[in-house]
Amino acid sequence: MHASHLPLKVWFTALHILTSHSNGVSALQLQAQLGLGGYESAWLMLQKLRRTMVNPDRSLLEGVVEIDEPEIPLRRKDDPIAGGRGRSPLGKMVVAGAVALSPDGQPRRIRLAPIADFSAATLKPFVAATAGPGARVITDGWSGYIGMPDHAHQPKVVGKMAAHVILRWTHRVFSNLKRWALGAFHGLRRQHLKRYLDEFALRAFFTLKTAHWAV
């Protein structure tokens, strides 16, 4: 709101609209509902509000933590619709996700972050920045996670078994994320992916808090 030319009432109205729509709102929708003359004003408002959706002092995840990496279709004209095969980044954005579980195996807290690739040089820093020392980290059998001295690593090789059976809660989060992104925004773009992920994490807290979720 700092240095904004818009009245405080408009900001609070925008905040109400953003938080009261379970699937989120686009800048075009916000522009129409606020009666703003320009698209850029609505877009900037949304970006500033999304920056406030994460507590910079939040604690690391503890206990049992599931970690995996989904791929999200990239909205860019020069990429193929289907993207590249396997772990190819072509036509995709890669996200790392972590879900902390309660002692009875229920989800409690989540973290989501965009990552550049599936390499150990990328995945290990995500684990270190997400899960506290001593946490038991459950992943699939991908080699990028091998060698984490500060964590009790428990790799589960997927093999012929469906991945969502091995990593139940991370895959549920990813499924909801993709559905939300396509439904609310018809896909996401790389430049602002981190802010969208933060918004989704906050919405997960409010919509799924009865299942012990938190940000």
The 3-class SS string of the chain reads CCCCCCCHHHHHHHHHHHHHCCCCCCHHHHHHHHCCCCHHHHHHHHHHHHHCCCCCCCCCECCEEEEECCEEEECCCCCCCCCCCCCCCCCEEEEEEEEEECCCCCEEEEEEEEECCCCHHHHHHHHHHHECCCCEEEEECCHHHCCCCCCEEEEECCCCCCHHHHCHHHHHHHHHHHHHHHHHHCCECHHHHHHHHHHHHHHHHHHHHHHCCEC
Give me the mean pLDDT over the 9-18 stretch. Answer: 88
Q: How confident is the model at residue 125 (pLDDT cuts 50, 70, 90)?
A: very high
Number of Cβ atoms within 10 Å of the Cβ of 22: 10
> How far is it, in rounded angstroms, from Cα 106 to Cα 111?
15
Q: Is pLDDT above 80 for 28?
A: yes
Q: How confident is the model at residue 34 (pLDDT cuts 50, 70, 90)?
A: very high
Average pLDDT, the chain: 80
Q: How confident is the model at residue 154 (pLDDT cuts 50, 70, 90)?
A: very high
209 vs 183 pLDDT, higher one: 183
Q: Is pLDDT above 90 for 181?
A: no
What pLDDT is recorded for position 90?
Answer: 59
Measured N-to-C along each axis, helices 168-185 and 193-208 cross at an angle, to the nearest 10 degrees, of 110
- The position carrying tokens 């965009």 is 114
Q: How confident is the model at residue 74 (pLDDT cuts 50, 70, 90)?
A: low
Q: Is pLDDT above 80 for 128?
A: yes
- What is the pTM for the complete model shown? 0.76
Asked whether the beta carbons of 193 and 93 are under 8 A apart, the reply is yes
Q: Is pLDDT above 90 for 196?
A: no
Q: Is pLDDT above 70 for 86?
A: no
What pLDDT is recorded for position 210?
Answer: 46
What pLDDT is recorded for position 72?
Answer: 77
Give me the mean pLDDT over the 177-192 stretch. Answer: 68
Q: Is pLDDT above 70 for 83?
A: no
Q: Is pLDDT above 70 for 207?
A: no
What pLDDT is recorded for position 184?
Answer: 57
> How far is it, in rounded angstroms, from Cα 119 to Cα 110?
22
Structure tokens at 100: 């902390």
- The position carrying tokens 């900037």 is 44
